[in-house]
Amino acid sequence: MSDVVELEANALGKRSAPRLRVRLPGKSITREGSSRISIVDISRHGLLAEMERPRIDAVPGKEMLVHGPGLEVFGVIRRTVGIFVAMEFYDPLSNGQIAALRLLNERMRTPSEEQRLMLEVRDWVAGANPLGLR
C-alpha cells in the first residue's frame, strides 16, 4: 500500500519525504576531486547542494561523499542543474540526525554577540543612533 501512495505522490510532483531547508557548509568528494558546497535542503533520503562552480565529474550516477558539520553521507548523484546537485543517500538519516541538523542550522544562522555588536557599531558610524549615544 505504501508503494502506491509513494508512486501517486511522485506522479503528482510531491516528494515522498519532507525536506528541511538549511544553509550548511560542506565538502563534496568524488573519485575525481573535491569542492566546497552549501547544503540548501536535506531529508532522510537525500540532499540538494549548491556548488561553488559546475563540476565536470558531478553527473547523475556518480558516487559522492558529502562531509559537513554534524554530517557525513555517501550516496549517488541523481540530478545536476547548473551549480546545483541532488544526491540520494545509500543509508537514510534518522529523524534524530535531521533534528540535530535543524538545531545546528539555527545556531549557525543566529548572529553571535560579537557580530551583533559589530552591526551596531557599523550602524552608529553610518549615522544611526539606536543606543541614543552622542
Q: How many domains does the chain have?
A: 1
Instruction: Tell me the residue range of the domain where 41 lies.
Output: 8-125
Asked if residue 118 belongs to a domain, the reply is yes
Residue range 100-121, pLDDT digits in tens: 999 998 887 766 666 777 777 8
Residue range 56-75, pLDDT digits in tens: 888 999 999 999 998 999 99
CATH number at residue 61: 2.40.10.220
Pick 128 or 34 by higher pLDDT. 34
Asked if residue 3 belongs to a domain, the reply is no
Q: Is pTM beyond 0.75 here?
A: no
Q: By the 8 A CB rule, do 46 and 89 touch?
A: yes
| Cα dihedral 120, 25, 69, 72 in deg (nearest 10) | 170
What's the CA gap between 80 and 78, in Å, rounded?
A: 7
Asked if residue 131 belongs to a domain, the reply is no
